[in-house]
Amino acid sequence: MTLPLSKQQNIEIRPLQLRDFEALETLIAQHGNPYQTDETLVAQLEQFRRWYGLLKVLRLLPNPSQHQFHLYVAEQGGEVRGLIEVSPFNRTRSTWQVERVLVDLTQPPNATVKDVGSQLLRYCFETIWEARTWLLEVNVNDKQTMALYRQNGFQPLAQMTYWEISPELLSELAEREPALPNLLPVSNADAQLLYQLDTVSMPPLLRQVFDRHITDFKTPLLRSLVNNVRHWGDHQETVTGYVFEPQRKAAIAYFELQLSPHENTPNEAQLTVHPAYTWLYPELITQMSRIVKEKAFKPLRLASADYQPEREEYLEKLGAERTEHTTLMSRSVWHKLRETKPLEALQLSDVLQGLQPARTPIPSRMAWFKSHHQNPNNSTPSEPGHPNSMDNG
């Protein structure tokens, strides 16, 4: 009998603990994959270590941050061999996102990179039972990680391109006044409009995978307080706005601009535009350029998908620089089905438990009973020689 991979290698997968931070720093330092070891991960781990006690308490209480910071490590022989970070993608937590998977490249030969990475992914699939769909994004040049995800059932969903607009180009764009007469600030009362805009701006397959609802576009009171504290402590600011169409009474464009306080980190923008109003791209980019110039004059980073040809065409014509090309991947998980017994191996007796025969049936001759009234002579009218027969004339 073949043992499971985790038992063969004696690898234990558990939530991240405070004693793991030094080992994770060493893991990040010796990892040779430039697409996984970015400054964002180091800063996030430092923040996680600083607020470890508070976050551990928040995980036990119902609050908006209860399901954040899901980090799990793979440990073998007392040493950390890998790390996985996941987070809920929508408010209902029906779709979860794999942020990153880090595997120690110097581990022993009996525990390969794909094996440890597969175990980390499998652990999340089985532990987070509420997730029906998993989502991730991987660089197209990261062949090793791409192979790991494909091995675990992830399929391409869309191609993403990340652009960076230089400060000089932003300065030129900020000199013009954008033509946005109906630009309004975002509040919870606009969640219905933003939800409709998000629904119409993407293909049906992505809409099904993302599974967003109106609550995803509302900001709870506690999260709003946390954002205010973050702005006061880290000087990180978020500016949002949307364009309202009074005739249709609908939102036709939306932007979210995150102004980073760090010098080496560019500002990031999220942009959603109705497919029928693609002429708003220059106006919205100009509006964000004016905000960046006034508050945090640094490069601006935003993304475009392969189903947004007008956006890519405009950014290329504008002179923005392509910085990264990624693939958006997804896979479905059905937790209600038992995987220990495949569907092909099910017998009829396993399915119909209540329809078992009491004993083995005995074959016998079947008796046919006539429904016609028979005469006293036990002969049918059609019998030859019968007085009532038509043969006698």
**pLDDT: is 48 or 208 the higher one?**
208
On the question of pLDDT at 122 being above 80, the answer is yes
* CB-CB contact of 122 with 72 (8 Å): no
Looking at residues 1-18, what average pLDDT do you find? 64
**pLDDT: is 234 or 332 the higher one?**
332
Looking at residues 132-140, what average pLDDT do you find? 95
DSSP 243: E
Looking at residues 177-181, what average pLDDT do you find? 92
At 71 the pLDDT is: 86
On the question of pLDDT at 215 being above 60, the answer is yes
- Which CATH number applies to 5-153: 3.40.630.30, 3.40.720.10, 2.60.120.260, 3.20.20.100? 3.40.630.30
Which range, of 38-42, 116-120, 217-221, averages the lowest pLDDT? 38-42
How many angstroms separate the CA atoms of 194 and 200, rounded?
A: 10
Could you give phi then psi for residue 86, rounded to 5 degrees? -130, 160
Give residues with Cβ within 8 angstroms of 148, minimum separation 6: 101, 113, 114, 117, 118, 121
**pLDDT: is 247 or 295 the higher one?**
247
161-326 has the same fold as 5-153: yes
At 340 the pLDDT is: 38
Looking at residues 233-251, what average pLDDT do you find? 88
Looking at residues 25-34, what average pLDDT do you find? 65
At 15 the pLDDT is: 86
**Domain spans of the chain, in order of start:** 5-153, 161-326
0.85 cut: is pTM over it?
A: no
Residue among 250, 188, 239 at smallest CA distance from 216: 188
At 311 the pLDDT is: 96
DSSP 101: E
At 261 the pLDDT is: 79
pLDDT digits (tens, 9 = 90+) for 54-78: 666 666 665 555 556 688 999 988 8
Looking at residues 18-47, what average pLDDT do you find? 67
At 68 the pLDDT is: 63
DSSP secondary structure string for all residues of 10-78 = TEEEEE--GGGHHHHHHHHHH---TTT--HHHHHHHHHHHHTHHHHHHHTTS-STTTT--EEEEEEETT
At 58 the pLDDT is: 60
On the question of pLDDT at 278 being above 60, the answer is yes
On the question of pLDDT at 31 being above 50, the answer is yes
How many angstroms separate the CA atoms of 188 and 192, rounded?
A: 9
On the question of pLDDT at 179 being above 70, the answer is yes
At 196 the pLDDT is: 97
On the question of pLDDT at 32 being above 90, the answer is no
Looking at residues 245-273, what average pLDDT do you find? 91
**CATH code reported for the domain at 161-326:** 3.40.630.30
